[in-house]
């Protein structure tokens, strides 16, 4: 069975990082509460630090053509 990769909107990613940074909770706990992996939050935090407002281009949803390639 093929594993389906979830996609998240840029807004969701930014909010997840913000929660992890400001909630006072461990990243693992924030990730569990959001239903994502803590690795995702770490990666998104790194991308935001490196690219700022240019991080997470796109809508977070794959086009039909991108879906077909997978």
What's the pLDDT tens digit per position in 12-67?
Answer: 999 999 999 999 999 999 999 999 999 999 999 999 999 988 888 876 555 554 44
Confidence at residue 10, expressed as pLDDT on a 0 to 100 scale: 94
- List, in order, residues 6 or more apart from 53 with CB less than 8 Å away: none
Is residue 16 included in any domain, yes or no? yes
* The total number of structural domains that make up the chain: 1
- CA Rg value for the chain: 13
Q: Which range marks the domain in which residue 17 is found?
A: 10-54
Is residue 5 included in any domain, yes or no? no
State the first-to-last Cα distance of the chain, in angstroms, to the nearest integer. 14
Is residue 50 included in any domain, yes or no? yes
Is residue 49 included in any domain, yes or no? yes
Is residue 33 included in any domain, yes or no? yes
Is residue 59 included in any domain, yes or no? no
d(CA 6, CA 42): 16
pTM across the whole model: 0.75
Is residue 36 included in any domain, yes or no? yes
């Amino acid at each position: 069975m093929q594993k389906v990769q979830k996609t998240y909107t840029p807004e969701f990613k930014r909010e997840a990082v913000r929660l992890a940074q400001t909630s006072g909770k461990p990243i693992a706990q924030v990730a569990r509460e959001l239903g994502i992996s803590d690795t995702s939050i770490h990666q998104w935090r790194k991308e935001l630090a490196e690219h700022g407002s240019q991080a997470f281009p796109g809508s977070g949803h794959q086009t039909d053509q991108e879906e077909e390639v997978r």
